[in-house]
A and B are shown apart, each in its own frame.
Chain A
Amino acid sequence: MSENKTTRHVSRRTVLKGSALTTGAAIIGASAPMHFIRNAYAADSFRGDPGSGKSVVLGFNVPQTGPYADEGADELRAYQLAVKHLNGEGDGGMLNTMKPNNLKGNGILGKKVEFVTGDTQTKSDAARASAKRMIEKDNVIMVTGGSSSGVAIAVQGLCQEMGVIFMAGLTHSNDTTGKDKKRYGFRHFFNAYMSGQALAPVLKDEYGTDRKAYHLTADYTWGWTQEESIKAATEKIGWQTVNTVRTPVGAGDFSQYITPVLNSGADVLILNHYGKDMVNSLTQAVQFGLKDKMVNGKKFAIVVPLYSRLMAQGAGDAAKGILGTTNWHWSLTDDGSQAFVKSFGQEYGFPPSQAAHTCYVQTLLYANACEMAGTFAPWEVIKQLEGYEFDGMGNGPTLYRAADHQCFKDVLVVRGKENPQSAFDLLEVVKHVPRSQVEYPADMFGGELGPYKV
């Protein structure tokens, strides 16, 4: 009985009214408020936003262990110096020479710059994990670093997905700003195509047009694109390509790949290797007598398209007389280079590497773009960097091309010095190749930048 008393009578009309009200509320609740929330998020919210905090955090993701640890250490030194200068400490370095310059030495947008570091180990998976931790845990506003194109492309992809700007460090593959380019990724360093365009005329002057080239190529994205670019550029000056052989990264002993060169009929060996691989393959090629060999009535030549001082140091005497290209060298006498070498030299006691230079410049360029945008919102900062023209940073007038986020500037052709005066005096600049000679159409390597807002 008691059960009957408490049971309420529900008519069909009441059920219909209730259903209509519930459905209406559900529609309004599900569509209109979410509509407003989504727009509000997209307009104001982004990862790493320092909000009203007094500081902003940058993420320096460099190889701290593994074969590129020395290069990574130099990159980290440059980043720390950049942070110092941004915060108004030290002598200011390139802040004094950069044109145009919106930086005031009071951090970025008045917020003190802090940083966290990560170890890429020169492995794509480790680099992505490290960048992800920086973004999610350390709330970084920008990620930068790298000494390998494989790593740079992997981290750049992650940054695009997460909506955080990636200012690439040392990466030379055409793919970084070619088929794998991203809206959130920017590269100041030059690329393999530019190396080919800068190097070919010098090779023509030094070795003539009737040459047969043999390529040994590191078997990953950077090696492939460099081989392609150098092959195209040298064939354009009349050289023939005898063979292109892919070698595993970190092979150590390259002798089994060098012995076939001896009787291949080639009179030029092009080593598309970098870092430790380049040190080893060059040393061994010289041991096999390739530097002094006569083939086809000509003196055999070895070419290393991407050169660095740290690599020349590792290769020792083998590097003497070898031609290649580099993004920057500490011996440059322009105001920007001098200011940076002075700051770096006084801070650490030795000159910076090209990796250090590009990392330092990238940090300053990002900070300057934030100042110009008046916000840390990445889509606004990206718009400031796209098409940005600047000078006073070591490579002459430079353009950050909007269509692929690649910097266009002068490239240096260098040669291993025969009689170095000190431990740092290992490369001599043979030619300043003007920017106009290394430019190419933005759509040449394909790829899509992707959206501004993710």
Chain B
Amino acid sequence: MDAIFLQILNGLDKGGAYALIALGLTLVFGTLGVVNFAHGAIFMIGAFCAVTMEKILTLSVKVKDTSVTFFDAYKETPYLELWFGKTGSAIIDWVVPISIVVSIPVMLGLGILMERSLIRFFYKRSHAEQILVTFGLAIVLQELVKSFFGANPIPVSAPDIVAGSAAIGSWIGLGDAVVYPWWRLIYLLFSVVIISAVFSFLNFTTWGMVVRAGMADRATVELLGIDIERRFTIVFGLAAVVAGLAGVMYTPVLPPDYHQGMDFLVLSFVVVVVGGMGSLRGAVAAGFLLGILQSFSSMTEVKSIIPGIDQIIIYLVAVIILLTRPRGLMGRRGVMES
């Protein structure tokens, strides 16, 4: 029972991350019709917003370590700690929440810049050409990050107050062995909030309604005198913000490196395809479904029946869904169909 509860929780936690990443991807595809292979790189840049913020907050006075003579080793004390003492340490400790605030305008600007300077020229080109150009863009972005930050993962910690595990088992009458990291619970909550916010924005605001109308029939919306292209540009920026925030929040879970975006890219595309190209609800549902399936397939009991199932489950489900429902779980008619 404990094991099953933990795997469900883990599946929801993983699913939250998958859904959040896939949401931005499907938002761009649904509005602009662009297959954006640079989405993973945007996620990675979000994570590096947190790394950059940490480097800024921990700018230090360097005192040479005289015990080391063959190279330059320094004992470093951050300026913030020198100037503000414990308050300075607390600011450094809260680097991830601070990065969330900072990354919103940064990612919005980056998204709009990408869309205006490159993506918009490929709206009417084939999906193959869109994939090539966005994939190329992803490689450029990741190599730029590598040249600045190196190839090694860079750790960024969650605030101390949420660094440990929550005794979730004792809350609900299960054993003490049932614990779950605070930060992962926060990530799950965060992903639910962001997903709800995006849905609310698109469904309950006039602005969102116009965007949805543009997704359904762009020509008619333009005939009504609405500058739909401008709104779509902003939607691209919003998708970048969602991916970026997902990246920032993920840094305490996985120390980011330049290749992180590529690691998530294939997975997020599978989520989008299983959910149905262009379907926001489908992406979210598929994210959680695949997260839970992946978590359960990793249990020793399951692996002893079907060895290696944990490594192929996501792709196996994708194959089954595409064979039985070629449009995915909630795909719209006519999307990516001739």
Contacts and interface: CB of A to CB of B under 8 A. Distances in A.
Interface string B1-19: 0110011011101100100
Interface in A297-320: 310, 313-318
B73 A259 contact: no
Contacts, number: 144
A122 to B, nearest CB: 11
Contacts of B6: 259-260, 262-263
A4 interface: no
B298 to A, nearest CB: 4
Nearest to B7: A259
B159 interface: no
A287 B17 CA distance: 17
A367 B150 CA distance: 32
A316 B3 contact: no
Interface residues of B, number: 56
Contact of A248 (B157, B165, B178, B311): B311
Q: Which of A67, A256, A276, A338 is the most central at the interface, judged by chain B CB atoms within 10 Å of its CB?
A: A256
A288 B153 contact: no
A422 B254 contact: no
Given A260-B299, A287-B165, A422-B68, A253 B254 contact: yes
B14 A280 contact: no
Given A342-B70, A345-B71, A421-B65, A255 B10 contact: yes
Contacts of A69: 146, 151
Given A253-B253, A314-B152, A289 B181 contact: yes
B298 A289 contact: no
Interface string B260-302: 1001100000000000000000000000000000110011100
B65 A255 contact: no
Interface stretch (A37-45, A346-354, A410-418): A346-354
Contacts of A346: 70-71
B71 A70 contact: no
A70 B152 contact: yes
A280 B255 contact: yes
A67 B75 contact: no
Given A263-B3, A338-B70, 4 more contacts: A70-B152, A259-B3, A283-B155, A346-B71
Contacts of A424: 68, 71, 73
Size class of the A contact interface (CB-based, 8 Å): 35 or more
Interface string A275-304: 010011001100111001100000000000
B70, B164, B179, B303 — most chain A CB neighbours (10 Å): B70
B154 A314 contact: yes
Q: Which 10 A-B pairs have the closest CB atoms?
A: A345-B71, A316-B155, A289-B165, A69-B151, A345-B70, A256-B298, A422-B73, A314-B153, A287-B181, A263-B177
Contacts of B13: 255
Nearest to B156: A316
Given A70-B152, A262-B179, A279-B153, A256 B10 contact: yes
Contact of A66 (B2, B259, B299): B259
A310 B155 CA distance: 12
Given A263-B2, A283-B254, A317-B157, A350 B71 contact: yes
B155 A315 contact: yes
Nearest to B163: A287
Contacts of B74: 422-423
B310 interface: yes
A43 to B, nearest CB: 46
A351 B71 contact: yes
B232 interface: no
A279 B151 CA distance: 13
A341 B72 contact: no
Contacts of A20: none
B183 interface: yes
Contacts of A260: 3, 6-7, 298-300
A341 B70 CA distance: 7
16 contacts: A67-B151, A69-B151, A253-B253, A255-B10, A259-B6, A260-B6, A262-B2, A262-B6, A287-B165, A289-B164, A314-B154, A341-B71, A342-B70, A349-B71, A350-B71, A425-B73
A422 B75 contact: yes
Nearest to B11: A256
A422 B65 contact: yes
Contact of B152 (A257, A310, A344, A425): A310
Contacts of B260: 252
Contact of A280 (B71, B152, B254, B310): B254
B184 interface: yes
Contacts of A88: none
B175 interface: yes
Nearest to B312: A248
B179 A288 contact: yes
Contacts of B257: 67, 276
Contacts of A338: 70
B155 A262 contact: no
A119 B17 CA distance: 33
A263 B174 CA distance: 11
A453 to B, nearest CB: 40
B294 A256 contact: yes
A245 interface: yes
Contacts of B65: 421-422
Contacts of B263: 250, 252
A243 interface: yes
B175 A263 contact: yes
A374 to B, nearest CB: 35
Contacts of B252: 287
